[in-house]
Amino acid sequence: MIQALLSVGLVAASALGVATFPRSVLAFLLFQGSLVFVYRARIPELLRWSLLVVALLVLMPVIGYFNGYYLEVATQVGIFVVLALGLNIVVGLAGLLDLGYVAFFAVGAYSWAIFGSPHANVIFGGGFPLAGGWFYPFLVVGLCTAALTGVLLGLPVLRLHGDYLAIVTLGFGEVIRVLANNLDKPINITNGPKGITPISRPPTPFGLPYGEYFYFLVLLLVVVVVIVNRRLENSHIGRAWEAIREDELAARSMGVPLVRMKLMAFACGASFAGIMGVLFSAKQVFINPESFTFLESIGVLAMVILGGMGSIPGAILGATVVTVLNLQVLKGFSLWLNELKNAGVTVLGYSLADLPTQFEPAKYERMVFGIILVLMMIFRPQGIFPARRRQRELTPHGS
Amino acid sequence: MSMDFELLVRIFPEVLLDGIILGFMYALIALGYTMVYGVLEFINFAHSEIFIAGAFIGVEILLGLQGRGLLEGFPWPLVLLLALMAGMAASGLLAVTIERVAYRPLRAAPRLIPLISAIGVSFFLQDFIRLFESLWRNAFNLVYPSMDALNHRLELTATIDVSVKSLVVIVSALLMLWALHLIVNRTKVGTAIRAVAEDQAAASLMGIDVNRIISLTFLIGGAMGGAAGVLFGVQYGLINPYSGFIPGLKAFTAAVLGGIGNIPGAMVGGLVLGLLEAFAASYLSLLTGGAFGAEYKDIFAFSVLILILIFRPKGLLGEVVRERA
Amino acid sequence: MALFEARGVTKRFGGLTALNGVDFALERGIVSIIGPNGAGKTTLFNVFTGLYVPDEGSVTFRGQALLGLRPDQITALGVCRTFQNIRLFANMTAIENVLVGMNSRISLGLWDVLSHSARFRQSESQLATRALGLLDRVGLQANANVVARNLPYGDRRRLELARALASQPALLLLDEPTAGMTQGEAGSLMRLLRGLVADLDLAIILIEHNMRVVMEVSDRVTVLDHGEKIAEGSPREVQASPRVIEAYLGRRGAAPRGAHGA
């Protein structure tokens, strides 16, 4: 009863807090924290899910109205949630350490970027960009190209074990990045470091502003992807993946076709990244190779590890925490530090204004990822929300 | 076409020299990867930062001397020696610390766990170096101060000349490699390291303190990486906290090329990769009429890595990849 | 035509010849393979199930050549095994382990899973029923939802058996199934095996060290030593064979332990 009251209270209070103090990073963090609390609290399922639905579908857009940046953060979180869920299949379920996951994201992004912008005219001579409405079918195109890339990468590489697989996928990710950076000659496919812009956006339903449109679209995709993940997990495919992760030799000997299942894991994981890539380019209107580096691959890995390998709520939590850390906490810390500097604050006799100008906390994402990875591995390798072995109610059908 | 051919021949000695220097550098870094893999069957992902940390210590020493107006005053071999020693010591100690803190607690865990930890350490160190230099010097893209003596060019033949700097780098690298060879093959410690690499259980039954040997392996491998870092800085001039990543990955390729876990293999692999890369960088552009230029040299190394791991994982000098029953 | 036949199987590892021209055939029932440690018994199993490729020889099952097939393909054909060192999926529950064993008999695709089609739901529930049935058969139905790593040792061996049975094999290869069991547990496992052979029309090849079990349950016994078959026949015949005795104990003349029903 107390938890129920607390849940409702926290959500309402924090939402109100954000509305009152739109610039306060703390208020927004509290709002997000309240959602986590609602997820874990011991309250009736109906209450839990009603609160979450209201918070995500109503409160969040309203908050977005007060501070557009928060909506942006929420959308980015959503994008990374899907990426984390995709990598979760590869690393968490099947146990294949892919360090070049961002390559699939890049493939999806560039597929819409090229055809949804005037850039394709450089290659094909005319007729582009495709109208914004093509965005929707291209979500499928992105899915397929990324899945295909996953299979192509997987085929030669899947009989490698653990460490070697990791390094090869890393190398592959780097190859994609260098290609993106350099395929502007002899044929200009990617336009190199200059990137591609402007990328068409689809017309929005009900004349929604783009901020809200992408937020809801991302939310929808998150729901779809979670359902897909759940279904995969609770099927012979998911069980086969887990068996492969547990003991490849035994899995093989029990009739699990290793190569086919691993390829399927790669393709499924890649396809999520592909879809989000297409969405990402339409949302950003401009992409360049800078968004698709090793840093991003490790970032998504950190999300999966933090949340818990193989765990859907874990992937969601991990993506949220890491994205918020980078986009809000670090950045907020940077801004706050600047304010303190300008105000001439001193700490222990040392004036903050004397801090070297090159020191910008917002740039220290790698340190954050690094600390997360090392600490998690040493203290809690199973993650914050470890995958729980689901106790399935196994009632025989009709007997 | 004939003009192109003449060009190809003319630049050959320079390309060869570049390749050798690059090769020795890769070899020194590769040694760190291969020695650790030999004793632990573990890829020390953070070795690329151990390498660049050495470069930073070196640059701090040199900048420090320069700041006091002492750089041109001291004989340059002494200055370089100081930088090298400092770089090696710092990197070696860094490697040992990392092993104690981030890897040893995870030794019994499934292999992916320490690997992920190593990745974490690598990332952490990149930004840690950035943090340190930002606070200390308000800059983290640093340039090695140039020393007149080193920039002097010697004429070897009528058409070929080489900078003193290049010669110094080559000679230093050779000395390091030779020293390592002596340590590994002629000392008790080296024998112990080889024993632990061969069979940890048997070695410990023979009375070898395996933990101590592992730490020593990290120390030596790290020191080699640190030396490579200083030489890298001297040779190429510009360093930043993120410039260890790519050379590290390539050096790992070199280690695998030569046979991971195999010390002579790391040297051979390093040289081969360095030469291949130098030739690819210089000739690829000329041969393809500018379509694929030197920027593709990175892909070249990665492709080599992917191809070896798929087709000949035991490398040139072949280390038996243990069959997991 | 024999159900399962291996001829002239030879396997070398560098300078060591682990198996040298071994012939083996099985029609039905339970055949035990015995021999001193290092005789090559598990190596033989590994060849049969496709984990090792022999240097010479042939292996056929129901007339089909098994050489060159992958282990999962061999399992799909109807040959399944257990392992000497129990290789369960430690972090999956007992029933999940058994369900994995059924993988080769499932013909559903990705689309069925994603759409949760009626076919899929029906299949999952049928699989669950069958899995519970198998667990019941080996006496583990009470522990269906226990994570494998938390099961006691004897239960783990039985779970491995249930998992191997899940693929509906016609031929089961059991590698030291009674290792670590008490005589009572071993006896009850043997009765179980006998029941399986009768009910499921199953043939079993057993690697065993427990002579009492071997004598009690086998229709035939094959003896390996240093990679070669040195004797074959009924349990009694093999027990009395001087070559066998010599292989186990050197030239001393005492019979293998446990053979006198003690």
- Are residue A300 and residue A369 in the same domain, yes or no? yes
For residues A208-244, one letter each, b for 16 or more C-beta atoms within 10 angstroms of the residue's C-beta and e for the rest, the string is eeebbbbbbbbbebbeebbebbebbbebbbbbbbbbb
Q: State whether A140 and A271 are in the same domain.
A: yes
Q: Are C147 and C93 in contact (CB under 8 A)?
A: yes
CATH code: domain B2-140+158-311 is: 1.10.3470
Q: Which of residues 89-128 of B touch A (CB under 8 A)?
A: 102, 105-106, 109, 111-117, 119-128
pLDDT of B260 reads 87
Instruction: Cite the residue boundaries of each domain of chain C with CATH code 3.40.50.300.
Output: 1-78+169-262
pLDDT of residue A37: 85
Contact residues, A window 94-133, toward B, CB-based 8 Å cutoff: 95, 97, 99
As given in the structure block, the two tokens for residue A6 are 């607390």
Q: Quick one: pLDDT at residue C243?
A: 83
Inform me whether the pLDDT recorded for B317 exceeds 70.
yes
Q: How far is B77 from chain A (nearest CA, A)?
A: 34
Residue A55 belongs to a domain: yes
The answer to whether the peptide bond before residue A198 is cis (omega within 30 degrees of 0) is yes
Is-contact A104 A95, C-beta < 8 A?
A: no
B125:A181 CB<8 A: no
Backbone angles phi, psi at B153, to 5 degrees: -105, 135
In the predicted structure, residue C259 carries a pLDDT above the cut 60: no
Which tens digits make up the pLDDT trace of A19-44? 888 777 788 888 888 888 888 888 88
Long-range pairs, C233-236, Cβ under 8 A, ≥24: C235/C32
> Does A33 share its domain with A108?
no
Q: Which of B120, B290, B302 sits opposite A374 (nearest CB)?
A: B120
Please tell me whether residues A45 and A174 are part of one structural domain.
no
Residue with tokens 């190593």: B118
Backbone angles phi, psi at C79, to 5 degrees: -120, 125
Structure tokens at B150: 């080193």
The interface pTM score, or ipTM, of the predicted complex is 0.89
Q: Dig out the tokens for B256 from the structure.
A: 């695998």
Residue C154 — pLDDT band, cuts 50, 70, 90?
A: confident
Residue C87: pLDDT band (50, 70, 90) is: very high
Q: Which pLDDT band holds residue B109 (cuts at 50, 70, 90)?
A: confident
Residues of chain A by 3-state class (helix, strand, coil), percent to 5: 75, 0, 25
Distance (Å, rounded) from C-alpha A88 to C-alpha A308? 9
CA distance C116 to chain A (A): 7
With beta carbons less than 8 A apart as the criterion, state whether B50 and B91 touch.
Answer: yes
B156 CB-near residues (< 8 Å, 6+ apart) = B162
The mean-pLDDT minimum among A113-122, B149-158, C163-172 falls in B149-158
pLDDT at residue number B323: 37
Which chain B residues contact residue A355 at CB under 8 A? 135
pLDDT in tens, C28-41: 899 999 988 888 89
- Provide the shortest C-alpha distance from residue B249 to chain A (in Å): 8
| Burial class of residue A388 in the structure, from the number of CB atoms within 10 Å of its CB (0-12 exposed, 13-18 middle, 19+ buried) | exposed
Residue-level pLDDT at B306: 82
Cβ–Cβ under 8 Å, residues C173 and C82: yes
CA B309 to each of CA A294, B70, B155, B258: distance values in angstroms, whole numbers, following the listed order: 20, 49, 42, 11
Domain check: are A147 and A12 in the same one? no
Q: Of A231, A234, A254, which is closest to C100 when you measure between CB atoms?
A: A254
- pLDDT for A273 equals 96
Same domain as A134, residue A37: no
Same domain, A173 and A102: yes
In this model, does residue B117 exceed pLDDT 60?
yes
| Domain shared by A161 and A204, yes or no | yes
What's residue C78's pLDDT?
A: 93
**Non-local CB neighbours of B268 within 8 Å, separated by 6+ positions:** B257, B258, B316, B317
Is the CB of C104 less than 8 angstroms away from the CB of A240?
A: no
| Enclosing domain of residue A2 | 1-66
pLDDT at C253: 45
The confidence score (pLDDT) of residue B158 equals 67
The mean pLDDT value for B54-68 works out to 92
Interface of A with C in 263-292 (CB under 8 A): 264
- Within this chain, do residues A138 and A26 fall inside the same structural domain, yes or no? no
Cβ contact (<8 Å) for B139 and A358? yes
Give the start-to-end residue ranges of the domains of chain B. Answer: 2-140+158-311
Give the start-end residues of each E strand in chain A: 346-347, 350-351
Q: Which of B292, B282, B247 is nearest to A179 (CA)?
A: B292
How many angstroms separate the CA atoms of C134 and C236, rounded?
33
Three-class DSSP category at C222:
strand
Q: Are residues A36 and A73 in the same domain?
A: no
Question: What string of DSSP letters covers A283-346?
Answer: HHS-B-GGGSSHHHHHHHHHHHHHH-TT-HHHHHHHHHHHHHIIIIIIHHHHHHHHHHHHTT-E
- For residue A103, what are the CA distances in angstroms to A280, B29, B78? 14, 27, 47
Contacts of B258 (CB under 8 A, 6+ apart): B30, B34, B264, B265, B266, B267, B268, B269, B270, B272, B315, B316, B317
How many residues can be counted in chain B? Answer: 325
Q: Which residues does chain A have within 8 Å of residue B114's beta carbon, measured at their own beta carbons?
A: 377
Stretch B105-122: mean pLDDT: 90
A393 pLDDT higher than 70? no
What's the total number of domains in chain A?
2
Residues B183-206: tens digit of each pLDDT: 999 999 999 999 998 888 889 898
Is it the case that residue A50 has pLDDT exceeding 90?
Answer: no
A175-179, long-range: CB < 8 A, 24+ apart: A175/A103, A175/B299, A175/B302, A175/B303, A175/B306, A176/A100, A176/A102, A176/A103, A176/A106, A176/A107, A176/A292, A177/A102, A177/A103, A177/A106, A177/A289, A177/A292, A177/A293, A177/A294, A178/B295, A178/B296, A178/B298, A178/B299, A178/B302, A179/B299
Between A310 and C32, name the one with better pLDDT.
Answer: C32
For residue A69, pLDDT beyond 90: no
Please give, rounded to a whole number of angstroms, the shortest distance from the CA of A394 to a CA of chain B: 32
Cα distances from A393 to residues A325, A397, B307, C121, C124, in angstroms, run 38, 11, 47, 13, 12
Average pLDDT estimate for B234-250: 92
Mean pLDDT lowest for which of A251-255, A287-291, A333-337, B238-242?
A333-337
Q: Is B111 exposed, middle or buried (0-12, 13-18, 19+ CB in 10 A)?
A: middle
What count of residues does chain C have?
A: 262
User: What confidence tens digit (pLDDT) does each residue in C227-251 have?
Assistant: 899 889 998 888 888 888 887 776 5
Reply yes or no on whether the pLDDT at C120 is more than 80. yes
Chains in contact with C, where contact requires at least 3 CB pairs less than 8 Å apart: A
Q: Assess whether pLDDT exceeds 60 at residue C200.
A: yes
**What is the CATH number for A152?**
1.10.3470
pLDDT at A395 over 60: no
Report pLDDT for A191: 85
| Average pLDDT over chain C, rounded to an integer | 88
What residue type is B207 in one-letter code? G
User: Nearest to residue A251, comparing CAs of A95, A54, A30, A113?
Assistant: A95
* Dihedral pair phi/psi, residue B143, rounded to 5°: -115, 135
A150, two tokens: 């996953």
pLDDT attached to residue C1: 61
Closest partner residue to A373 among B119, B306, B325, by Cβ? B119
User: What average pLDDT does range A52-77 have in this prediction?
Assistant: 86
Note whether A163 and A247 are same-domain residues. yes
Q: C23-79: per-residue pLDDT in tens?
A: 999 988 999 999 888 888 999 999 999 999 999 999 999 989 999 899 999 999 999
Q: Would the pLDDT of A200 be above 90?
A: no
Element (DSSP H or E) covering residue C118: helix C118-137
Nearest to B240 by CA among B142, B135, B137: B142
pLDDT of B33 reads 94
Query: Greater confidence, A100 or A119?
Result: A100
In one-letter notation, the amino acid at residue C198 is A
- Which of A164, A249, A370 shows the shortest C-beta gap to B127? A370
Question: Whole-structure pTM over 0.80, yes or no?
Answer: yes
Window from A142-151, B134-143, C165-174 with minimum mean pLDDT:
B134-143
More confident residue, A327 or A176: A176
Residues 6+ apart with CB under 8 A from C67: C53, C54, C58, C59
Q: DSSP letter string over C132-198?
A: HHHHHHTT-GGGTTSBGGGS-HHHHHHHHHHHHHHT--SEEEEESTTTT--HHHHHHHHHHHHHHHH
Mean pLDDT across chain A, nearest whole number?
Answer: 86
For residue A129, is the peptide bond before it cis, meaning its omega torsion is within 30 degrees of 0? yes
Lowest mean pLDDT across A109-123, A181-195, B84-98: A181-195
Q: State how far the Cα of B100 lies from the Cα of C82, in Å rounded to an integer.
A: 40
pLDDT at residue number A398 = 31
| C-alpha span between B92 and B32 (Å, rounded) | 10
Residue type, C45: F
Say what the pLDDT of residue A31 is.
Answer: 85
Highest CATH level, class, for C1-78+169-262: alpha beta
What is residue B1's predicted lDDT score, i.e. its pLDDT?
47
Tell me what the mean pLDDT of segment A108-137 comes to.
Answer: 84
Q: How far apart are CA C78 and CA C208, in angstroms?
A: 22
Determine which of A151, A159, A234, A236 to mutate to test the interface with C (most C C-beta atoms within 10 Å): A236
Contact yes or no for B286/B6 (Cβ under 8 A) = no
**Mean local confidence (pLDDT), B87-116:** 93
Q: Tokens 């060849």 identify what position? A: C47
